Amino acid sequence: MVTGLHQLAHNLWWTWNQEAQEIFQELSPRSWQNLYHNAVAVMHEVSDYELRMRLQDHEFARRVHEVLENFKNYLGDTETWGAINAPKLKDNPVAYFSAEFGFHETLPIAAGGLGVLAGDHTKAVSDLGLGFVGISLFYREGYFQQAINAENWQTEYYTLLNPKNLPVDPVLNAKGEPLICTVWMATSQVSFRAWRVNVGRAPVYLLDTNLPENEQHYRDLTLRVYGGDSTTRILQEILLGVGGVRLLRALGVQPSTFHMNEGHAAFLVLELTREKMASGMKFEQALQSTKQECIFTTHTPVPAGHDRFSRDLVNYGMLKITQGLGLTPEQFMGLGRVNPADKSELFCMTVLALRGSRAANGVSELHGKVSREMWHCMYPNGTVDEVPIGHVTNGIHTLGWMKGTVRRFWRRKLAAEKMTMPTGEETAFWSKKPALHLENEVNKPEFWAKMADPEFVSDEEIWALRFKLRRELIEFARRRLLLQGRSFGQNDFITLDQLLNPSALTIGFARRFATYKRAPLIFDQYENVVKLVKDQERPVQFIFAGKAHPRDDEGKKYIQKVIHLSKHSELAGHLVFLENYDIHVARQMVSGCDIWLNNPRRPLEASGTSGQKCGVHGCLNLSIMDGWWREGYDGTNGFSIGDDTHPDNVEEQDKRDSENLYKALTEEVIPGFYNRDANGVPRQWIQRIRRAMVTLVPEYGTWRMVQDYANKYYIQK
């Protein structure tokens, strides 16, 4: 069992298994908290001797045994969705390339939603038993940690990740030494190694150039997520795309499909083409053949958001690769240009990705449409509708996002349901029925359909759960604010226990502070919002969090504005900003808030996923009709800001959206939340929560999403 626990810590399966987490936590509650829920590090804190002794406790040993059995059965299950529907992917998996993966707070190698999506994709692929291998980079300083200075300005600091204390295993060769591959960058052969992350059944390899044989600037290539300037960027992308293919070959993996999650990985097309040329094909034929192996998911609805590199940079970075393909620099540039002959065009990764893939997709219906319009220029012979870009709407890994409190709630419900099964003769029948495991139920529409039924779960129970979750968030926020305050030597936080009201309508906003997301939009209505927060009968409060990109001063100004308001305006006490947004903070917020606010400038939110994390917790979305919400909202399962249109003029749009936001708040949200019956229960509000659970949760999960990818793109007929 001691070995079993070590193995378990090295497989991220535990991050979506509640009982496994509880065991690591119980081994050392303080380490669990101080080491930020890092099972590997906790296992280092607890000696094997202590473990053996702890396992003398029969009850504890029984639980450990059960978790390890479940883990073994999970890994060994041969009757998965993938085994039945996509058996060929077992030997020829999908290779999924992404510059970031967000799995869990202990492995901070994601900058935001793109990475979290990749992580949730992988977890679902594992659950479904689909042949899969992921490729990314091992950023040894990860994504930055956020601290706010005395001017309320975001500053960044980095902590070194130690692979020994992370759920990563070195990839070794037959001699048991690190497997080393190389890739050409500029005029150097750069070596790299890889770390393997076990995500249930799915391996993800993280490439790492930090090797003594490399020059220092190449060693630092994998220092940070999207770190450095555009030179770093292009070299990181060479490593990801070209290096990723090389690693797979060194491991003997022969993927049936290469899936580029965003354009960062598009250089893989070049390596696959080179391979074919090495076995005798001509360039054009090799590229066409490569195209049949690749698919591409785009995430960026603005032209400026796509990675582009200058001719000089491409010539510098890709010199050897260009030569290897037998192309002139000008011909090479053409691969990344809409019009290959147009010398003024930069090299665009999205163009290369589109050119090198058999199918492409956006991440929501509207985003599919916007992408077809944006890239019509590449397919001028057909109409906009004929542009070969479809869509698969994003989702989340439902079980992974479900807070422990909520899992326990549903588990008790399922257990109770079993006990109220018919008695007498029929008992024999029911006892043959396997127990309802939450793990199996959460992805079934039939399970969520039960939420419409007050016999299964009453309004009072849902409302009690909402109070509990809101209380947990507020206590989490107070703790965080205490720590934030301390770092400045502030001591006016005595009143912290009065900060935030556990009964007030709590509105959350947390995501990257990219300016198009317009974090401070609601405060355009400052005078009105002050009235709302000060309303004694029907108070409203706001919790914000999020990081701006280190070079995005406009985003940092938004953070500064929100923090300033939270400290020095009439909103103080009713508005807080939590520093250092990450997956853990996200989980607290999407569960504890009553309303999840999303007000991007339409149509710039390709999908958005944070709002999808709310449904299981009974938190409702209040959102612009953009991305996934435009498909998810049905008039009964949350709230919309404005309608399915937007003016072209940005100022006009901002003005209209902030007015509509205020209107929705005051006409629908606040009255809805505070419309209570004689028992103090808001029946109509809870009806909305039920509708959100029934209609949104099963649809906006990565189980549905991955099956869509499989049926549309991965499984070749």
Ligand X SMILES: *Cc1c(COP(=O)(O)O)cnc(C)c1O
Cβ distance to ligand X smaller for residue 332 or 629:
629
User: Does 363 help bind ligand X (rule: CB under 6 A)?
Assistant: no
Look up residue 569 and give its two tokens. 């305006």
Output the smallest distance, CB 590 to ligand X, in A: 8
Query: Please, is 297 exposed, middle or buried when counting C-beta atoms within 10 Å of its C-beta (0-12, 13-18, 19+)?
Result: buried
Collapsing DSSP states into helix, strand and coil, what is residue 672?
A: helix
Cβ distance to ligand X smaller for residue 244 or 600:
600
Cβ distance to ligand X smaller for residue 116 or 234:
116
In this chain, which of 93, 113, 334, 336 binds ligand X, going by CB under 6 A?
Answer: 113
Output the smallest distance, CB 546 to ligand X, in A: 8
Give whole-number Cα distances, 332 to 95, 345, 714, in Å.
25, 12, 29
Beta pairing, strands 169-170 & 188-199: antiparallel
Stretch that binds ligand X, among 57-65, 256-264, 578-586, 663-671 (CB under 6 A): 578-586
Cβ distance to ligand X smaller for residue 587 or 691:
587
On the CB side of 688, how many CA atoms lie within 13 Å of its CA? 23
- Burial letters for 6-44: b for 16+ Cβ neighbours within 10 Å, e otherwise? eebbbbbbbbbbbebbebbbebbeebbeebebbbbbbbe
Stretch that binds ligand X, among 275-283, 304-312, 348-356, 577-585 (CB under 6 A): 577-585
Cβ distance to ligand X smaller for residue 112 or 615:
112
Stretch that binds ligand X, among 110-118, 362-370, 442-450, 458-466 (CB under 6 A): 110-118
Stretch that binds ligand X, among 123-131, 230-238, 292-300, 576-584 (CB under 6 A): 576-584
Output the smallest distance, CB 214 to ligand X, in A: 31
**241 closest CA partner among 302, 303, 309:** 309
Cβ distance to ligand X smaller for residue 335 or 399:
399
User: Does 225 help bind ligand X (rule: CB under 6 A)?
Assistant: no
Query: Please, is 80 exposed, middle or buried when counting C-beta atoms within 10 Å of its C-beta (0-12, 13-18, 19+)?
Result: middle
Look up residue 529 and give its two tokens. 């919002």
User: Does 124 help bind ligand X (rule: CB under 6 A)?
Assistant: no
Stretch that binds ligand X, among 39-47, 112-120, 204-212, 444-452 (CB under 6 A): 112-120
Cβ distance to ligand X smaller for residue 201 or 547:
547
Task: Return the number of other C-beta atoms located less than 10 Å from residue 362's C-beta.
Answer: 27
Output the smallest distance, CB 362 to ligand X, in A: 15
In this chain, which of 112, 119, 395, 672 binds ligand X, going by CB under 6 A?
Answer: 112
Output the smallest distance, CB 351 to ligand X, in A: 25
User: Does 543 help bind ligand X (rule: CB under 6 A)?
Assistant: no
Output the smallest distance, CB 401 to ligand X, in A: 8
Distance from C-alpha of 169 to C-alpha of 104, rounded to nearest angstrom: 16
Distance from C-alpha of 150 to C-alpha of 37, rounded to nearest angstrom: 30
Stretch that binds ligand X, among 109-117, 229-237, 460-468, 645-653 (CB under 6 A): 109-117
Distance from C-alpha of 207 to C-alpha of 186, rounded to nearest angstrom: 18
Stretch that binds ligand X, among 446-454, 529-537, 580-588, 644-652 (CB under 6 A): 580-588
Cβ distance to ligand X smaller for residue 9 or 109:
109
Output the smallest distance, CB 157 to ligand X, in A: 18
Query: Please, is 717 exposed, middle or buried when counting C-beta atoms within 10 Å of its C-beta (0-12, 13-18, 19+)?
Result: exposed
User: Does 116 help bind ligand X (rule: CB under 6 A)?
Assistant: yes
Give whole-number Cα distances, 402 to 7, 407, 478, 616, 702, in Å.
24, 6, 22, 7, 13
**411 closest CA partner among 382, 383, 449, 437:** 437
Interface pattern 499-538 for ligand X (x via CB under 6 A): ------------xx--------------------------
User: Does 582 help bind ligand X (rule: CB under 6 A)?
Assistant: yes
Cβ distance to ligand X smaller for residue 333 or 507:
507
Output the smallest distance, CB 600 to ligand X, in A: 8
Cβ distance to ligand X smaller for residue 123 or 450:
123
Distance from C-alpha of 261 to C-alpha of 476, rounded to nearest angstrom: 34
Q: What are phi and psi of 660, to 5 degrees?
A: -65, -35
Tell me the site size for ligand X, rule CB under 6 A: 12
Beta pairing, strands 181-185 & 188-199: antiparallel
Cβ distance to ligand X smaller for residue 532 or 545:
545
CA 372-374-379 angle, 5° bins: 65
Cβ distance to ligand X smaller for residue 528 or 580:
580
The stretches of 96-251 forming alpha helices (DSSP H) are 113-128, 216-219, 230-238, 244-250
Cβ distance to ligand X smaller for residue 407 or 613:
613
Cβ distance to ligand X smaller for residue 581 or 673:
581
User: Does 586 help bind ligand X (rule: CB under 6 A)?
Assistant: yes
Give whole-number Cα distances, 650 to 600, 617, 628, 646, in Å.
12, 34, 22, 9
User: Does 583 help bind ligand X (rule: CB under 6 A)?
Assistant: yes
Rounded to 10°, the helix 113-128/702-709 angle is: 80
Cβ distance to ligand X smaller for residue 626 or 708:
626
**554 closest CA partner among 581, 514, 517:** 514
Look up residue 647 and give its two tokens. 């003016």
DSSP string for residues in 185-227: ETTEEEEEEEEEEEETTEEEEEEE---TTS-HHHHGGGSSTT-
User: Does 698 help bind ligand X (rule: CB under 6 A)?
Assistant: no
User: Does 630 help bind ligand X (rule: CB under 6 A)?
Assistant: no
User: Does 152 help bind ligand X (rule: CB under 6 A)?
Assistant: no
Residues between 595 and 614 that touch ligand X (CB under 6 A): 608-610
Question: What is the distance of C-alpha 621 from the center of its chain?
Answer: 18
Output the smallest distance, CB 605 to ligand X, in A: 7
Output the smallest distance, CB 666 to ligand X, in A: 24
**288 closest CA partner among 278, 273, 274, 275:** 273
Cβ distance to ligand X smaller for residue 105 or 659:
105
Residue 86 contacts residue 130 (beta carbons within 8 Å): yes
Output the smallest distance, CB 112 to ligand X, in A: 4
Stretch that binds ligand X, among 186-194, 255-263, 276-284, 581-589 (CB under 6 A): 581-589
Distance from C-alpha of 567 to C-alpha of 579, rounded to nearest angstrom: 14
Residues found near ligand X in the complex (CB under 6 A)? 112-113, 116, 511-512, 581-583, 586, 608-610
